[in-house]
Amino acid sequence: MTDHDVPLDFGDPADLDTLRRELRAWLAEHPLPRRRHGEPMAEFLHRWHRQLHSGGWVGLDVPERYGGRGLTALHQVAVSDELGACRAPGVPRIGYLAHALLEFCSEEQRARLLPRMLSGDDVWCQGFSEPGAGSDLAGMSTYARRSADGGHYLVNGQKLWTSYAQYSDYCLLLARTDRAAPAHSSITAFALPLNRAGVTVRPLRAANGDDEFCELFLDDVRVAVDERVGAEGDGWPLAMTTVNYERNALDTGHLSKYGLLLERLRRQLREHRGALPDGLVSAVGRCVVDYQVLVAHARRRTAERLAGRAAGPESSVDKLLMTRAEQRLYETALAVLPEELHRDGGAVYGEYLYSRAASVYGGTSQIQRNIIAKRLLHLSSAS
Ligand SMILES: Cc1cc2nc3c(=O)[nH]c(=O)nc-3n(C[C@H](O)[C@H](O)[C@H](O)COP(=O)(O)OP(=O)(O)OC[C@H]3O[C@@H](n4cnc5c(N)ncnc54)[C@H](O)[C@@H]3O)c2cc1C
Protein backbone atom coordinates (compact mmCIF):
# COMPACT_ATOMS: atom_id res chain seq x y z
CA MET A 1 0.00 0.00 0.00
CA THR A 2 1.42 3.43 -0.92
CA ASP A 3 0.72 6.67 0.91
CA HIS A 4 -2.18 7.33 -1.45
CA ASP A 5 -3.81 3.94 -1.45
CA VAL A 6 -6.89 3.87 0.71
CA PRO A 7 -8.67 0.73 1.87
CA LEU A 8 -12.20 1.87 1.33
CA ASP A 9 -12.25 2.79 -2.32
CA PHE A 10 -15.83 1.82 -3.24
CA GLY A 11 -15.11 2.08 -6.97
CA ASP A 12 -16.06 5.59 -6.01
CA PRO A 13 -18.88 7.44 -7.70
CA ALA A 14 -17.53 10.41 -9.72
CA ASP A 15 -18.31 13.07 -7.11
CA LEU A 16 -16.53 11.08 -4.42
CA ASP A 17 -13.50 10.74 -6.61
CA THR A 18 -13.56 14.52 -7.10
CA LEU A 19 -13.86 15.03 -3.36
CA ARG A 20 -10.85 12.80 -2.70
CA ARG A 21 -8.80 14.74 -5.29
CA GLU A 22 -9.90 18.08 -3.81
CA LEU A 23 -8.85 16.96 -0.34
CA ARG A 24 -5.45 15.76 -1.57
CA ALA A 25 -4.91 19.11 -3.33
CA TRP A 26 -5.98 20.99 -0.20
CA LEU A 27 -3.64 18.90 1.98
CA ALA A 28 -0.77 19.66 -0.41
CA GLU A 29 -1.36 23.38 0.18
CA HIS A 30 -2.12 23.10 3.88
CA PRO A 31 0.63 20.97 5.40
CA LEU A 32 -0.21 18.83 8.38
CA PRO A 33 0.45 20.64 11.65
CA ARG A 34 3.26 19.36 13.83
CA ARG A 35 2.73 19.01 17.55
CA ARG A 36 4.88 21.67 19.21
CA HIS A 37 7.24 20.64 21.97
CA GLY A 38 5.19 20.42 25.17
CA GLU A 39 1.92 21.26 23.40
CA PRO A 40 -0.99 19.43 25.08
CA MET A 41 -2.56 16.87 22.75
CA ALA A 42 -5.97 18.55 23.04
CA GLU A 43 -4.59 21.90 21.86
CA PHE A 44 -2.78 20.27 18.96
CA LEU A 45 -5.97 18.43 17.92
CA HIS A 46 -7.95 21.63 18.23
CA ARG A 47 -5.55 23.49 15.90
CA TRP A 48 -5.95 20.65 13.42
CA HIS A 49 -9.74 20.74 13.83
CA ARG A 50 -9.83 24.48 12.97
CA GLN A 51 -7.53 23.96 9.99
CA LEU A 52 -9.71 21.15 8.63
CA HIS A 53 -12.86 23.17 9.17
CA SER A 54 -11.40 26.16 7.31
CA GLY A 55 -11.14 23.87 4.27
CA GLY A 56 -14.71 22.55 4.67
CA TRP A 57 -13.59 19.07 5.80
CA VAL A 58 -15.60 18.75 9.04
CA GLY A 59 -19.20 17.49 9.27
CA LEU A 60 -19.57 16.32 5.68
CA ASP A 61 -22.72 14.36 6.46
CA VAL A 62 -24.29 17.05 8.68
CA PRO A 63 -27.02 19.17 7.02
CA GLU A 64 -25.81 22.54 5.68
CA ARG A 65 -28.23 24.49 7.88
CA TYR A 66 -26.31 23.19 10.92
CA GLY A 67 -22.88 24.05 9.55
CA GLY A 68 -22.11 20.82 7.69
CA ARG A 69 -21.90 20.09 3.96
CA GLY A 70 -25.11 18.09 3.57
CA LEU A 71 -23.33 15.15 1.89
CA THR A 72 -23.50 11.46 2.84
CA ALA A 73 -21.81 9.07 5.27
CA LEU A 74 -19.79 7.81 2.30
CA HIS A 75 -18.25 11.28 1.80
CA GLN A 76 -17.37 11.40 5.50
CA VAL A 77 -15.79 7.94 5.24
CA ALA A 78 -13.75 9.00 2.20
CA VAL A 79 -12.37 12.06 4.03
CA SER A 80 -11.47 10.00 7.09
CA ASP A 81 -9.86 7.42 4.84
CA GLU A 82 -7.72 9.97 2.98
CA LEU A 83 -6.57 11.65 6.18
CA GLY A 84 -5.47 8.34 7.65
CA ALA A 85 -3.61 7.44 4.46
CA CYS A 86 -1.39 10.52 4.80
CA ARG A 87 -0.92 9.91 8.54
CA ALA A 88 -2.88 13.01 9.47
CA PRO A 89 -4.58 13.13 12.85
CA GLY A 90 -8.12 11.86 12.38
CA VAL A 91 -11.23 13.91 11.79
CA PRO A 92 -12.26 15.57 15.07
CA ARG A 93 -13.92 12.96 17.31
CA ILE A 94 -17.20 14.84 17.53
CA GLY A 95 -19.26 12.80 15.08
CA TYR A 96 -20.93 10.70 17.74
CA LEU A 97 -21.85 13.71 19.89
CA ALA A 98 -23.11 15.55 16.79
CA HIS A 99 -25.35 12.58 15.95
CA ALA A 100 -26.84 12.65 19.45
CA LEU A 101 -27.48 16.40 19.25
CA LEU A 102 -29.00 16.07 15.77
CA GLU A 103 -31.40 13.45 17.03
CA PHE A 104 -32.40 14.87 20.41
CA CYS A 105 -31.98 18.68 20.35
CA SER A 106 -34.77 21.13 19.56
CA GLU A 107 -34.49 22.95 16.23
CA GLU A 108 -33.34 26.10 18.06
CA GLN A 109 -30.61 24.15 19.93
CA ARG A 110 -29.41 22.40 16.75
CA ALA A 111 -29.05 25.70 14.90
CA ARG A 112 -27.26 27.33 17.85
CA LEU A 113 -24.99 24.49 19.03
CA LEU A 114 -24.02 22.42 16.00
CA PRO A 115 -22.31 25.01 13.75
CA ARG A 116 -20.05 26.08 16.64
CA MET A 117 -19.30 22.46 17.51
CA LEU A 118 -18.32 21.68 13.91
CA SER A 119 -16.16 24.81 13.55
CA GLY A 120 -14.36 24.15 16.84
CA ASP A 121 -15.54 27.49 18.26
CA ASP A 122 -17.05 25.41 21.04
CA VAL A 123 -15.23 22.31 22.21
CA TRP A 124 -17.40 19.57 23.72
CA CYS A 125 -16.77 16.75 26.14
CA GLN A 126 -18.88 13.81 27.28
CA GLY A 127 -19.94 13.68 30.93
CA PHE A 128 -21.40 10.18 31.30
CA SER A 129 -19.14 8.02 33.56
CA GLU A 130 -18.99 8.46 37.32
CA PRO A 131 -16.78 6.95 40.03
CA GLY A 132 -19.50 4.39 40.82
CA ALA A 133 -21.14 4.19 37.38
CA GLY A 134 -19.00 3.30 34.36
CA SER A 135 -20.18 -0.04 32.98
CA ASP A 136 -23.31 0.31 35.07
CA LEU A 137 -24.03 3.74 33.63
CA ALA A 138 -27.70 3.60 34.56
CA GLY A 139 -26.63 3.51 38.20
CA MET A 140 -25.37 7.11 38.05
CA SER A 141 -26.02 9.28 41.06
CA THR A 142 -25.47 12.82 39.72
CA TYR A 143 -28.82 14.45 40.38
CA ALA A 144 -30.56 17.39 38.70
CA ARG A 145 -33.35 18.70 40.94
CA ARG A 146 -36.01 20.81 39.26
CA SER A 147 -36.70 24.14 41.01
CA ALA A 148 -40.13 24.68 42.60
CA ASP A 149 -41.11 27.16 39.86
CA GLY A 150 -39.96 24.65 37.23
CA GLY A 151 -37.65 27.20 35.56
CA HIS A 152 -34.28 25.58 36.16
CA TYR A 153 -32.41 22.59 37.65
CA LEU A 154 -29.76 22.46 40.38
CA VAL A 155 -27.20 19.76 39.54
CA ASN A 156 -24.99 18.01 42.11
CA GLY A 157 -22.60 15.10 41.62
CA GLN A 158 -19.30 13.97 40.15
CA LYS A 159 -18.20 12.72 36.74
CA LEU A 160 -14.99 10.84 36.01
CA TRP A 161 -12.82 10.10 32.93
CA THR A 162 -14.33 13.14 31.19
CA SER A 163 -11.88 13.41 28.28
CA TYR A 164 -10.38 16.87 27.76
CA ALA A 165 -12.95 18.63 29.97
CA GLN A 166 -10.30 21.21 30.91
CA TYR A 167 -10.15 22.33 27.25
CA SER A 168 -13.90 22.18 26.68
CA ASP A 169 -16.63 24.80 26.54
CA TYR A 170 -19.60 22.43 26.79
CA CYS A 171 -20.32 19.10 28.39
CA LEU A 172 -23.03 16.72 27.18
CA LEU A 173 -24.01 15.82 30.70
CA LEU A 174 -26.20 13.01 32.00
CA ALA A 175 -27.94 13.34 35.36
CA ARG A 176 -30.83 11.64 37.11
CA THR A 177 -33.96 13.78 37.35
CA ASP A 178 -36.20 11.37 39.23
CA ARG A 179 -34.86 9.19 42.02
CA ALA A 180 -38.08 7.22 42.37
CA ALA A 181 -38.50 6.20 38.70
CA PRO A 182 -36.76 3.15 37.10
CA ALA A 183 -33.09 3.91 36.29
CA HIS A 184 -33.41 3.81 32.49
CA SER A 185 -36.32 6.25 32.35
CA SER A 186 -35.08 8.76 34.91
CA ILE A 187 -31.89 10.03 33.26
CA THR A 188 -31.87 13.37 31.48
CA ALA A 189 -29.26 15.05 29.23
CA PHE A 190 -28.06 18.65 29.38
CA ALA A 191 -25.82 20.86 27.25
CA LEU A 192 -23.88 22.35 30.14
CA PRO A 193 -21.58 25.36 29.60
CA LEU A 194 -18.47 24.53 31.61
CA ASN A 195 -17.86 28.11 32.72
CA ARG A 196 -20.98 27.89 34.89
CA ALA A 197 -20.63 28.64 38.64
CA GLY A 198 -20.30 25.44 40.69
CA VAL A 199 -18.37 23.46 38.01
CA THR A 200 -14.84 22.35 38.96
CA VAL A 201 -12.64 20.46 36.49
CA ARG A 202 -9.62 18.58 37.83
CA PRO A 203 -7.31 16.95 35.22
CA LEU A 204 -5.61 13.56 35.82
CA ARG A 205 -2.36 12.50 34.14
CA ALA A 206 -2.34 9.12 32.34
CA ALA A 207 0.51 6.59 31.81
CA ASN A 208 1.28 8.00 28.33
CA GLY A 209 1.93 11.42 29.88
CA ASP A 210 -1.26 12.90 28.42
CA ASP A 211 -3.71 14.85 30.55
CA GLU A 212 -6.78 13.48 28.76
CA PHE A 213 -8.88 12.49 31.76
CA CYS A 214 -10.63 14.78 34.18
CA GLU A 215 -12.79 14.64 37.21
CA LEU A 216 -15.75 16.97 36.97
CA PHE A 217 -17.37 18.20 40.18
CA LEU A 218 -20.87 19.70 40.08
CA ASP A 219 -21.87 21.67 43.10
CA ASP A 220 -25.31 23.32 42.98
CA VAL A 221 -24.86 24.06 39.27
CA ARG A 222 -27.84 25.99 37.91
CA VAL A 223 -28.99 24.74 34.52
CA ALA A 224 -31.86 26.35 32.61
CA VAL A 225 -34.70 24.21 31.31
CA ASP A 226 -33.84 25.19 27.73
CA GLU A 227 -30.34 23.76 28.27
CA ARG A 228 -31.92 20.33 28.62
CA VAL A 229 -31.42 18.12 25.55
CA GLY A 230 -34.63 16.25 24.73
CA ALA A 231 -37.35 15.62 27.30
CA GLU A 232 -36.85 14.54 30.91
CA GLY A 233 -36.05 10.82 30.81
CA ASP A 234 -34.56 10.93 27.27
CA GLY A 235 -31.03 10.65 28.67
CA TRP A 236 -30.76 6.88 28.34
CA PRO A 237 -31.76 6.65 24.65
CA LEU A 238 -29.48 9.63 23.97
CA ALA A 239 -26.60 7.86 25.72
CA MET A 240 -27.21 4.70 23.68
CA THR A 241 -27.29 6.69 20.43
CA THR A 242 -24.01 8.34 21.40
CA VAL A 243 -22.17 5.14 22.28
CA ASN A 244 -23.55 3.24 19.28
CA TYR A 245 -21.99 5.85 16.99
CA GLU A 246 -18.83 5.96 19.12
CA ARG A 247 -18.41 2.16 18.79
CA ASN A 248 -19.18 2.04 15.07
CA ALA A 249 -16.53 1.01 12.53
CA LEU A 250 -17.00 4.10 10.41
CA ASP A 251 -14.04 6.14 11.62
CA THR A 252 -11.97 4.68 8.83
CA GLY A 253 -8.92 6.95 9.27
CA HIS A 254 -7.50 4.48 11.74
CA LEU A 255 -7.88 1.73 9.12
CA SER A 256 -5.63 3.58 6.69
CA LYS A 257 -3.09 3.98 9.48
CA TYR A 258 -3.28 0.29 10.39
CA GLY A 259 -2.74 -0.49 6.70
CA LEU A 260 0.41 1.65 6.57
CA LEU A 261 1.86 0.12 9.74
CA LEU A 262 1.00 -3.37 8.52
CA GLU A 263 2.84 -2.71 5.27
CA ARG A 264 5.96 -1.78 7.26
CA LEU A 265 5.68 -5.03 9.20
CA ARG A 266 5.37 -7.04 5.99
CA ARG A 267 8.39 -5.26 4.52
CA GLN A 268 10.40 -6.09 7.62
CA LEU A 269 9.38 -9.75 7.31
CA ARG A 270 10.38 -9.86 3.65
CA GLU A 271 13.77 -8.28 4.36
CA HIS A 272 14.64 -10.11 7.58
CA ARG A 273 12.61 -13.30 7.30
CA GLY A 274 15.44 -15.60 8.48
CA ALA A 275 16.21 -13.51 11.55
CA LEU A 276 12.68 -13.37 12.94
CA PRO A 277 11.06 -16.15 14.97
CA ASP A 278 8.21 -18.04 13.27
CA GLY A 279 5.82 -16.85 15.98
CA LEU A 280 6.20 -13.29 14.73
CA VAL A 281 5.42 -14.30 11.16
CA SER A 282 2.13 -15.85 12.29
CA ALA A 283 1.43 -12.80 14.48
CA VAL A 284 1.73 -10.53 11.43
CA GLY A 285 -0.51 -12.96 9.53
CA ARG A 286 -3.18 -12.59 12.22
CA CYS A 287 -2.91 -8.80 11.99
CA VAL A 288 -3.48 -8.98 8.21
CA VAL A 289 -6.63 -11.05 8.77
CA ASP A 290 -7.88 -8.66 11.50
CA TYR A 291 -7.31 -5.74 9.16
CA GLN A 292 -9.16 -7.35 6.25
CA VAL A 293 -12.10 -8.23 8.49
CA LEU A 294 -12.28 -4.62 9.68
CA VAL A 295 -12.17 -3.23 6.16
CA ALA A 296 -15.02 -5.56 5.12
CA HIS A 297 -16.91 -4.48 8.20
CA ALA A 298 -16.45 -0.77 7.58
CA ARG A 299 -17.72 -1.24 4.01
CA ARG A 300 -20.80 -2.98 5.36
CA ARG A 301 -21.49 -0.26 7.94
CA THR A 302 -21.09 2.43 5.28
CA ALA A 303 -23.60 0.66 3.04
CA GLU A 304 -26.03 0.37 5.97
CA ARG A 305 -25.70 4.05 6.81
CA LEU A 306 -26.28 5.01 3.18
CA ALA A 307 -29.43 2.90 3.26
CA GLY A 308 -30.62 5.05 6.18
CA ARG A 309 -29.96 2.57 8.98
CA ALA A 310 -28.84 4.20 12.24
CA ALA A 311 -26.04 2.72 14.35
CA GLY A 312 -27.42 0.13 16.80
CA PRO A 313 -26.21 -2.60 19.17
CA GLU A 314 -24.29 -4.31 16.34
CA SER A 315 -21.73 -1.54 16.91
CA SER A 316 -20.56 -3.66 19.85
CA VAL A 317 -19.26 -6.21 17.33
CA ASP A 318 -17.31 -3.42 15.59
CA LYS A 319 -15.90 -2.23 18.89
CA LEU A 320 -14.62 -5.72 19.80
CA LEU A 321 -13.09 -6.22 16.35
CA MET A 322 -11.42 -2.79 16.37
CA THR A 323 -10.05 -3.37 19.86
CA ARG A 324 -8.59 -6.75 18.96
CA ALA A 325 -7.10 -5.49 15.71
CA GLU A 326 -5.55 -2.42 17.30
CA GLN A 327 -4.10 -4.15 20.34
CA ARG A 328 -2.63 -7.05 18.34
CA LEU A 329 -1.22 -4.72 15.71
CA TYR A 330 0.68 -2.52 18.16
CA GLU A 331 1.89 -5.49 20.23
CA THR A 332 3.19 -7.10 17.04
CA ALA A 333 4.71 -3.85 15.80
CA LEU A 334 6.76 -3.49 18.95
CA ALA A 335 8.04 -7.07 18.62
CA VAL A 336 8.85 -6.81 14.89
CA LEU A 337 10.15 -3.22 14.92
CA PRO A 338 11.58 -2.73 18.43
CA GLU A 339 13.45 0.40 17.30
CA GLU A 340 10.01 2.01 16.93
CA LEU A 341 9.90 2.30 20.70
CA HIS A 342 12.13 5.34 20.47
CA ARG A 343 11.68 6.82 17.00
CA ASP A 344 9.73 10.13 16.62
CA GLY A 345 9.76 10.67 20.37
CA GLY A 346 8.29 7.17 20.84
CA ALA A 347 5.15 7.86 18.73
CA VAL A 348 4.39 4.18 18.05
CA TYR A 349 5.01 3.33 21.69
CA GLY A 350 2.53 6.07 22.64
CA GLU A 351 0.00 4.51 20.24
CA TYR A 352 0.72 1.09 21.72
CA LEU A 353 -0.01 2.45 25.20
CA TYR A 354 -3.22 4.10 24.02
CA SER A 355 -4.33 0.88 22.31
CA ARG A 356 -4.52 -0.70 25.79
CA ALA A 357 -7.35 1.72 26.59
CA ALA A 358 -9.42 0.50 23.60
CA SER A 359 -10.85 -2.35 25.67
CA VAL A 360 -12.17 0.20 28.21
CA TYR A 361 -13.29 3.45 26.57
CA GLY A 362 -16.73 3.60 24.98
CA GLY A 363 -17.68 0.61 27.19
CA THR A 364 -15.38 -2.31 28.14
CA SER A 365 -14.99 -5.47 26.04
CA GLN A 366 -16.90 -7.47 28.67
CA ILE A 367 -19.82 -5.07 28.35
CA GLN A 368 -19.75 -5.34 24.55
CA ARG A 369 -19.96 -9.14 24.91
CA ASN A 370 -22.92 -8.75 27.28
CA ILE A 371 -24.69 -6.53 24.72
CA ILE A 372 -24.03 -9.01 21.90
CA ALA A 373 -25.31 -11.89 24.05
CA LYS A 374 -28.47 -10.10 25.15
CA ARG A 375 -29.45 -7.83 22.28
CA LEU A 376 -28.10 -9.60 19.20
CA LEU A 377 -28.16 -13.28 20.23
CA HIS A 378 -31.11 -12.91 22.65
CA LEU A 379 -29.50 -15.16 25.25
CA SER A 380 -30.95 -14.87 28.72
CA SER A 381 -28.53 -14.25 31.60
CA ALA A 382 -29.24 -17.78 32.93
CA SER A 383 -28.11 -19.50 29.69
C1 LIG B 1 -9.30 6.62 27.14
C2 LIG B 1 -10.62 6.74 27.83
C3 LIG B 1 -11.44 7.85 27.59
C4 LIG B 1 -12.67 7.95 28.25
N5 LIG B 1 -13.41 9.08 28.01
C6 LIG B 1 -14.61 9.22 28.64
C7 LIG B 1 -15.38 10.40 28.44
O8 LIG B 1 -14.96 11.33 27.73
N9 LIG B 1 -16.57 10.51 29.09
C10 LIG B 1 -17.06 9.50 29.89
O11 LIG B 1 -18.16 9.65 30.39
N12 LIG B 1 -16.33 8.38 30.11
C13 LIG B 1 -15.12 8.20 29.51
N14 LIG B 1 -14.35 7.08 29.75
C15 LIG B 1 -14.82 6.10 30.74
C16 LIG B 1 -15.25 4.76 30.18
O17 LIG B 1 -16.45 4.84 29.46
C18 LIG B 1 -15.35 3.81 31.39
O19 LIG B 1 -14.03 3.65 31.89
C20 LIG B 1 -15.91 2.46 31.04
O21 LIG B 1 -17.27 2.57 30.72
C22 LIG B 1 -15.71 1.45 32.19
O23 LIG B 1 -16.19 1.96 33.40
P24 LIG B 1 -15.29 1.89 34.72
O25 LIG B 1 -13.94 2.43 34.38
O26 LIG B 1 -16.06 2.54 35.80
O27 LIG B 1 -15.10 0.34 35.03
P28 LIG B 1 -16.09 -0.58 35.85
O29 LIG B 1 -17.48 -0.38 35.35
O30 LIG B 1 -15.84 -0.37 37.31
O31 LIG B 1 -15.60 -2.02 35.44
C32 LIG B 1 -14.46 -2.66 36.04
C33 LIG B 1 -14.29 -4.03 35.39
O34 LIG B 1 -15.44 -4.84 35.66
C35 LIG B 1 -16.00 -5.34 34.45
N36 LIG B 1 -17.46 -5.36 34.54
C37 LIG B 1 -18.27 -4.42 35.07
N38 LIG B 1 -19.56 -4.78 34.96
C39 LIG B 1 -19.57 -5.98 34.34
C40 LIG B 1 -20.61 -6.86 33.91
N41 LIG B 1 -21.92 -6.59 34.11
N42 LIG B 1 -20.25 -8.02 33.27
C43 LIG B 1 -18.95 -8.33 33.05
N44 LIG B 1 -17.91 -7.52 33.45
C45 LIG B 1 -18.23 -6.37 34.07
C46 LIG B 1 -15.57 -4.33 33.38
O47 LIG B 1 -15.54 -4.92 32.09
C48 LIG B 1 -14.17 -3.96 33.87
O49 LIG B 1 -13.23 -4.90 33.43
C50 LIG B 1 -13.12 6.94 29.14
C51 LIG B 1 -12.29 5.82 29.38
C52 LIG B 1 -11.05 5.72 28.76
C53 LIG B 1 -10.19 4.53 29.04
The string of DSSP codes covering 20-41 is: HHHHHHHHHHSPPP-PPTT--H
Q: What is the mean pLDDT of residues 95-111?
A: 93
pLDDT at 310: 85
Residues 131, 78 share a domain: no
Q: Mean pLDDT lowest for which of 91-95, 302-306, 376-380? A: 91-95
Number of domains making up the chain: 3
Where residue 278 falls among pLDDT bands split at 50, 70, 90?
confident
Residues 320, 199 share a domain: no
Report pLDDT digits (tens) over 65-76: 999 999 988 888
Q: Is 309 exposed, middle or buried (0-12, 13-18, 19+ CB in 10 A)?
A: exposed
Q: Which residues are catalytic?
A: 246
Q: What is the mean pLDDT of residues 241-245?
A: 88
Residues 254, 200 share a domain: no
Nearest ligand 1 atom to the CA of 159 is 11
CA 217 – CA 198 distance, rounded (Å): 8
Q: Note whether residue 57 is domain-resident.
A: yes
Residues 269, 225 share a domain: no
Q: Residue 65 belongs to what domain range?
A: 1-92
Residue 4: pLDDT over 50? no
Nearest ligand 1 atom to the CA of 133 is 26
Which of 49, 77, 92 corresponds to the end of one domain?
A: 92
Residues 372, 252 share a domain: yes
Which residue is closest in CA terms to ligand 1's atom 50? 361
Residue of 323, 318, 311, 317 lying closest to 61 (CA atoms): 311
Q: Which residues line ligand 1 (CB under 6 A)?
A: 125-129, 134-135, 161-163, 357, 360-361, 363-364, 366-367, 370
CB 333 within 8 A of CB 340: yes
Q: Note whether residue 108 is domain-resident.
A: no
CA 286 – CA 335 distance, rounded (Å): 14
Report pLDDT digits (tens) over 339-362: 876 776 667 788 888 899 999 998
Q: What is the CATH number of the domain that holds 131?
A: 2.40.110.10
What residues contact residue 156 under an 8 Å CB cut-off, 6+ apart?
142, 143, 145, 218, 219, 220, 221
Q: What is the CATH number of the domain that holds 52?
A: 1.10.540.10
Residue 282: pLDDT over 60? yes
Residues 83, 131 share a domain: no
Phi, psi of 273 (to 5 degrees): -50, -50
Instruction: State which of 41, 125, 129 you would mutate to test the pocket of ligand 1, scoring each by most atoms of that ligand within 8 A of its C-beta.
Output: 129
Residues 372, 251 share a domain: yes
SS3 281: helix
Which of 207, 233, 259 corresponds to the end of one domain?
A: 233
Where residue 1 falls among pLDDT bands split at 50, 70, 90?
very low
* Single-letter amino acid, residue 201: V
Report pLDDT digits (tens) over 302-343: 888 888 888 889 999 999 999 999 999 999 998 998 887 677
Average model confidence (pLDDT) across the chain: 89
Percent of the chain with pLDDT over 90: 61
Where residue 2 falls among pLDDT bands split at 50, 70, 90?
very low
